Structure 1
Amino acid sequence: MAFSWSTSGHSVLKLNIRQLCLFGMWPLCDSPLYNFYSALVLTLGVWNCMEGALAIGYSGADLEETTLVLANSFTTCSGLVKGILFVWYRPQYYAMAQRLNALVWAQSEACTTDTTLANILQNSRRRAARISLAMFLFLFLQAVVWFPMPLIAHPGERRLPLVQHYWAGNNSYYELSYIVQCCSANYLANVSFGMDCLLVTIMILVAAQLKVLTIRVAALRMEQADTELGVKQRLEGPPAVYQDRLYKDMCLCIENHQQILRFVKDLQRVMNPIAMTQFIFSVLVACVALFQATYFTSVDSSFCVPQSTDFAAVFQCVAFLPVPGGQVFLYCWAAQNVADEAQAVSTAAYSCSWVESSAAFKHGLRLLLCRAQKRLVLTAGYCYPIDRAAFLSLVNASYSYYALLGQMNRH
């Protein structure tokens, strides 16, 4: 079921849904004009990628210009691929958003009576909203750096912000080309970041649900029988009414745990191609941006003159370097939190009152333990685990390609 503008306001993904709606990905109305808008955004991305390919072909052996074009083209291609995947699998994203709302609601009753649990959910939603807003503002700052830079650093030279039209000398439709490049880069970058923030928000909320479940499982104790019956009667053994209550609470925890695991399985299926796309392009973008920012600003030892006079391009790449690393880090950090909180459920099960409980309670607890001890790992492309180790390996891969480009530049 699709969302409307009003129903999206009641979703835990409200900010992410409306952000994607703004940039043409998530329709909140049944209108052919919005479908045309989505097609126009993707067409701008295709046009930008074609411009980059032509520019690389016409620039010849100019490695400095090539790396600058590649940094933009890889970023645009990443947003284009992720946008196409989102449009293709829109019904799955609609269903996932609805199921996440149901998942949060399933434990809401327990959270209304416990301020600690309520704070966990509130803090997770605030953290997710802050990350999404911070990424949106960061992209706005990138636009301020990249788009007007040719007009500031090269006044009167008719340079374009991202890709130079070497085949026409930037003379044909200069103003239109300038606007199209700015629009395409801005839209596709926001689509890419919007998809990342959507998935990261989901993982943050799932980790919060697992944390709430962990506290509920650890709280399965007989303290209430102590206060209601007194210590003397409690030592003789809790009555069946308390055993039944404890067993029912444990069954609710098991049911919520199974719901979370089923949701994570669906999330895994939807997130796989998006995460893999981002990981590949992040490595490539980080490599070429770092190469542009270092090799073309090295200082000659005899004359102390920089090898490159285009300091605007260098500044652009230095300012852009946190983008690919930040996108990968968000995925790895959020997925690691999900894995850690899932592992904590099994630890919490050992802390409950299983020694004095009934046989049925112990049997159900064994089932919970067996499933919770199985590590919950999110992957990219069904083959690459997403965790802190993955972030380090991707950084190492970027540096390896960067070193290879450096060797090619020397020879």
Structure 2
Amino acid sequence: MHNTSCLRLCLTIMTVTGVWLPTALKSSHLRHIYYIFAFMYHLLFVLPIIFMEFAVFYQVLGNIEQMVDTSLLLVTHIAQCVKVCVMWYKQDEIHSLLMTLDSPTFTREDSNKKQILKDVIQTTYTVSKVFISLVVVTGIFWGIYPMLKPTLCLPIQYPNIPPEYKIFPIVYLYQIVNITLMGIAIASIDFLVGALMAILSAQMDILSYELSLVGKINNKDDNANTDIRQDYLIIISCVKFHENIIKFVKDLEKIFGFPVFFQFLTSAIIICETAFRITDSTETTELITMMFYFMCVNTELLMYCYYGDLLKRKSERVVEMAYCCNWENADVRMQRALLLLMQRAQRTLVLRAGNMFELSMMTFSAILRTSYSYFTVLNERRKLKG
């Protein structure tokens, strides 16, 4: 099982939605055909929707309720454009990260270490299926609720086409397909980052496990020199392994730092507007749709923050495991190598968005508090106007 096998669903979706060039096409002439496909896909399916949303938003300026309705998807799709641009601009670097993750540096033959990775990979893959399914259900509900209104309208109410026009069903279907495809494309990119952090946290568990083996592998050997040599080799291997993890985290932050930063900035607005729509909804289907959308947005944000927080806690555990190993019976050379590892591990491994926001549960809580503050302001303005 490859470390990146948990990414197969999101990579497939990104390939279909014109975001990800498959590895098999990277050195093939067919890659030019895929470039054309990706360009045409975004030209025909992504940009028109964003243009419609901008047009509607311009028309309803000054009306709080209608501005919230329109900007809800608009802000989401702008964040998507930022992520897609970064994915294409950093495509080679991301390919390199995935290849590194499947290289011998981050794979292990030991059964216990393989089991640690296997458990994380299977759990992460299950999370991807649940998250994508949630987005698809949200897209379906988004297509259903306009049909249940007293007056049938488009999910994105632009252009203003009466239901009796023959082109109306085509535009209706076009918008629903677009909303769903754009939603799963966004979810796939978000999951890619979250899954990479989850795998890195598993690597930290493996590092802690390797440190726990110091002084235990050859403790029945009559040759003490063999024991010392084996322990020294383990610690040197751990030092190199730790440095490789640190480098991977820095590369990951360098690639995705800005889009995650932009996502955090927009998440407070999106959560606020979704909550506003929920409290303003009078129709059951619309309320359910907004509840599903609210869950999607929070899951998206939680994925970044939870896995970032998990990686942080796993990195803090490395110092503890290094201290708890049998270093007191080691020679000076081994103790120095272990001290080097502990000194570096004392600097907690943290991913930051734009060098400002730390990916942690504290940041998640801060964004929710900010969203509630925005919601309170919007709600007060609605009451004053009412």
TM-score, normalising length from structure 2?
A: 0.90
Name the structure 2 match of 1:381. Answer: 354
Structure 2 unaligned blocks of 5 or more:
none
Q: Deviation per CA, 1:368-387, whole angstroms, max 9, x where unpaired?
A: 01000111110111111110
Matched, 1:346 2:340: no
Partner of 1:95, secondary structure, is helix
Per-residue Cα deviation, 1:44-91 (whole angstroms, up to 9, x for no partner): 322212211211232354433332222122222222221122112211
Of residues 94, 109, 120 in structure 2, which corresponds to 1:124? 120
2:8 aligned partner: 14
SS class of match (1:377): coil
Counterparts in 2 of 1:34 and 1:9: CA distance versus 1, 3 Å: farther
Match of 2:141? 145
Corresponding letter in the other structure for 1:228: D
**Residue deviations 1:322-352 (CA, integer Å, cap 9, x gap):** 1111111111110111111111111111111
Mind listing any 5+ residue stretches in structure 1 that lack a counterpart?
A: 1-7, 230-237, 298-307
Contact 2:105 2:241 (C-alpha < 8 Å) held by counterparts: yes
Instruction: Map 1:209-220 to 2 at 5 A.
Output: 209-220=203-214
**Does 2:353 align with 1:409?**
no
Deviation (angstroms), 1:402:
0.7
> What's the % identity of the aligned pairs?
18
Q: Is 1:163 aligned to residue 163 of structure 2? A: no
Give the deviation of 1:240 after TM superposition: 1.9
Counterpart Cα distance in 1 of 2:227 and 2:62: 79
Conservation of the 8 A alpha-carbon contact between 2:5 and 2:121: no
For 2:149, the equivalent position in structure 1 comes to 154
CA RMSD across the alignment = 2.2
Q: Which residue of structure 2 aligns with residue 193 of structure 1?
A: 187
Map of 2:221 onto structure 1:
228
How far off is 1:9 after superposition? 11
Aligned twin of 2:81 = 80
1:35 aligned residue: 35
Aligned length: 375
Q: Is the 8 A contact 1:46 1:80 kept in 2?
A: no
Cα pair distance change 1:314/1:267, threshold 3 Å: same
Contact 2:6 2:124 in 1 (8 A): no
Instruction: Please point out which of 196, 203, 219 is paired with 1:202.
Output: 196
The corresponding residue for 1:232 is none
Matched residues in 2 for 1:35 and 1:347: separation? 49
Residue type of the alignment partner of 1:248: L
C-alpha distance in 1, partners of 2:215/2:143? 61
Q: Does 1:329 align with 2:329?
A: no
Structure 2 CA distance for partners of 1:188 and 1:80, relative to 1, 3 Å = farther
**For residues 283 and 136 of structure 1, what CA distance do their matches in structure 2 show?**
22
Pairing partner for 1:314 from 282, 287, 296: 287
1:266 to 251, 254, 272: 251
CA contact (8 A) 1:150 1:161 kept: yes
**Of 268, 271, 288, the match for 1:283:** 268
Q: Secondary structure at the match of 2:326?
A: coil
For 1:50 and 1:223, the matched residues in 2 are separated by: 64
What is the Cα deviation at residue 92 of structure 1?
1.3
Q: 3-state DSSP class of the match of 1:148?
A: helix
Cα offset, 1:311, TM superposition? 4.7
